[in-house]
Amino acid sequence: MSSIRWTFPSVSGFFPSFGAAATRRVQSWARKRQGVDPDQIQLTPGRTYILPTGVGLIYALMSFAMLLGSMNYNNNLSFLLTFLLIGLGFVAMHQCQRNIVGLEISFAGVEPVFAGQAALFRIAVTNNSKNPRDRIRLYLDSTNSDIHDLEPGESQVFVIPFVTDKRGWVQLERFGIRTLFPFELFRSWAWLHMDIRGLVYPRPLDEAPEPPASQMALGHRQHDARGEEDFAGLRRFIVGDSPRRIAWKAYARTGALLSKRFSGADTSSQWFDFNEFGDVDVEERLSTLARWIVDADRTREDYGLKMPGYDIAPSHGEAHRHRCLEALALFGLGNE
């Protein structure tokens, strides 16, 4: 026998734009009411909201029906059970809001990503109270972080993924914190409007051409970071150096982080020039340059970047890679 599935029309089915319009109005009202939040804030009772969930509404209707039955039959045991359930509901409502009040929320950073990837905004939540906080979650529209429990004095980093589609700055204008603890009868939440943003690099072209010959080797020199023939001394550690190059014995003696230098590695530098393209639009140029930078960084080649109005001298390493890709990401946008 085939099963029968009952379906009920939703409000959004009759009014497709009603839910979205109401959400936008509520969000605008909340932002005007609260203003822009600092990068670190502690939630107060006036910042938190609470409403019953679907399960909570059914629970309330069931309790009301039991109350009517108890009054109709004048049964003392039925009254006892009904008021016990009602009291349990009020306790759950109080505990649900109390579960997020007093939490300290602060921005913990976001790493740059390429267009099309998700920017992972890290938000630190700290429980400074003497009571545990259970089943806490951060959310952004339809995107949710993992659920964490916070012991007294504990801090957890929540990650909110934000999908990107173009280069430049991406801003996390609004996100929320919520809890359904305990029993999922009520939903307590708070909105936060922090001025936080992340950088999005141009998406590297999948099939980029090779750099033109005019941009290739411009003189040979000894590379400080590569080579295995002869030990040439020590130098200050630079971010991006291999851990295998670190002089650990010297670090144990002096406490200074130094890298070993070797001679005998003859290498060339490359220039990637924004103007060395034919009839190619700006975005494709930036994507091609991003591909060349990523490939050169992977092989630890020295490379420089020529952009209209300024140059970035050839070098290598994580800091140099970020500087070049940042120049591509913000080119022509007029924002720093």
Of residues 279, 293, 303, the one with CA closest to residue 326: 293
Q: Report yes or no: 158 and 148 within 8 Å, Cβ to Cβ.
A: yes
| Three-state DSSP string of 157-170 | EEEEEEECCCCEEE
User: Tokens in use for 109?
Assistant: 């950073």
Pairing of strands 133-140, 40-42: unpaired
**pLDDT tens-digit series, residues 55-77:** 999 999 999 999 999 999 998 99
Q: Any idea which residue has 């939490």 for tokens?
A: 103
Q: What are phi and psi of 218, to 5 degrees?
A: -120, 60
Pairing of strands 175-179, 168-172: unpaired
Query: CB neighbours (10 Å) of residue 302?
Result: 21
Q: Report yes or no: 111 and 54 within 8 Å, Cβ to Cβ.
A: no
Structural domain spans, the chain? 33-201, 213-329
pTM of the full structure: 0.75
125, β-bridge pairs:
105, 156
Query: CB neighbours (10 Å) of residue 217?
Result: 11
**pLDDT tens-digit series, residues 118-149:** 999 999 999 999 999 999 999 998 799 999 99
Q: How confident is the model at residue 10 (pLDDT cuts 50, 70, 90)?
A: very low
- CATH 2.60.40.10 at 33-201, yes or no: yes
